[in-house]
Copies of this chain bind each other. A is one copy, B any other.
Amino acid sequence: MSEAKVVRPPGSVAAEPMAGEGVKDVMKRVLISPDEGWEGWVMRLFEIAPGGHTPRHAHDWPHVNFVAEGSGELFMDGEDLEIEKGSAAFVPAGVLHQYTNTGAEPLALLCIVPERGAG
């Protein structure tokens, strides 16, 4: 790991489709990671198209979120919680969760995870 002074303009990181079962219309950009010097953590930006969603799943690492654009729902453990531009969230390890874009605009959200959860 090295440390780098980095500014990434919007859109400067290539987007790739989020892979895996239960995913619909989600693009992923890795913004900051151990490659830049953030030891152990990765900040990704997900863009979910209207009607799209991430998988409904659980894993043994947490998520830290911030909604950059749009609106939708964050399902956690049986509850649908509204999220909108400017919302922050914490999804503890082990909690069943899913992000869904229920709005008419793209839902852009940061999702910060430990390095082992960033694959």
Contact = CB atoms under 8 A, between A and B. Distances in A.
Nearest to A35: B90
A8 B88 contact: yes
Per assembly, the copies of the chain total: 2
B90 A36 contact: yes
Interface stretch (A17-25, A51-59, A78-86): A78-86
A7 interface: yes
Contacts of A4: 90, 92
A49 interface: no
Q: How large is the interface on A (under 10, 10 to 19, 20 to 34, 35 or more residues)?
A: 35 or more
A37 B62 contact: yes
A89 B3 contact: no
A41 B84 CA distance: 23
Nearest to A41: B41
A5 B66 contact: no
A66 B31 contact: yes
